[in-house]
């Protein structure tokens, strides 16, 4: 069991909320107070439903295979392929994901409610070298 005040938290896959959706998509949900991470396996030929998020910022990194993202832009459907190690940020678009290949695709989704504050400089400079503290 991991406690919130432990120096490191590890959430095992066995503790995730695991769901197989009617489409066959397998999802392991890891829920935290400030964000959510979920690991997805999108079987070959699967098309997810059209949807959008009202407040969530959803970011996806493809870890194996490739997926197609379709999104509505100015009344037209636009389609792009997202490959391994690409990062997709869907924002509040109307979108869906498809696996048009013959192999399963895997991807990790990071979801959070944005603060609407630019934190990029803090993120770039937040790391502190502690090498001299370890003897």
| Tens digits of residue pLDDT in 101-131 | 999 999 999 999 988 888 889 889 898 888 8
> Using CA atoms, how far apart are residues 24 and 44, in angstroms rounded to an integer?
10
- Average of per-residue pLDDT across 37-52: 95
State the first-to-last Cα distance of the chain, in angstroms, to the nearest integer: 29
Instruction: Note the pLDDT of residue 2.
Output: 54
pTM of the predicted model as reported, rounded to 2 decimal places: 0.86
Instruction: Give alpha helix (H) positions in 20-131.
Output: 120-124
Instruction: Note the pLDDT of residue 134.
Output: 87
- The Cα-based distances of 73 to 9, 24, 59, 92 in angstroms read 40, 28, 19, 12
């Amino acid at each position: 069991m991991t406690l919130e005040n432990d120096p490191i938290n590890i959430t095992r896959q066995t503790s995730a909320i695991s769901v197989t959706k009617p489409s066959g998509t397998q999802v392991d949900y890891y829920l935290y107070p400030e964000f959510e991470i979920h690991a997805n396996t999108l079987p070959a030929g699967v098309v997810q439903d059209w949807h959008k998020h009202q407040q969530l910022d959803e970011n996806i990194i493809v870890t194996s295979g490739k997926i197609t993202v379709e999104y509505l832009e100015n009344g037209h459907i636009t389609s792009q392929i997202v490959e391994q190690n690409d990062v997709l940020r869907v924002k509040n678009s109307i979108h869906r994901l498809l696996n048009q290949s013959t192999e399963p695709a895997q991807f990790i989704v990071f979801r959070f409610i944005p603060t609407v504050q630019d934190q990029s400089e803090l993120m770039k400079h937040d790391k502190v070298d502690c090498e001299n503290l370890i003897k």
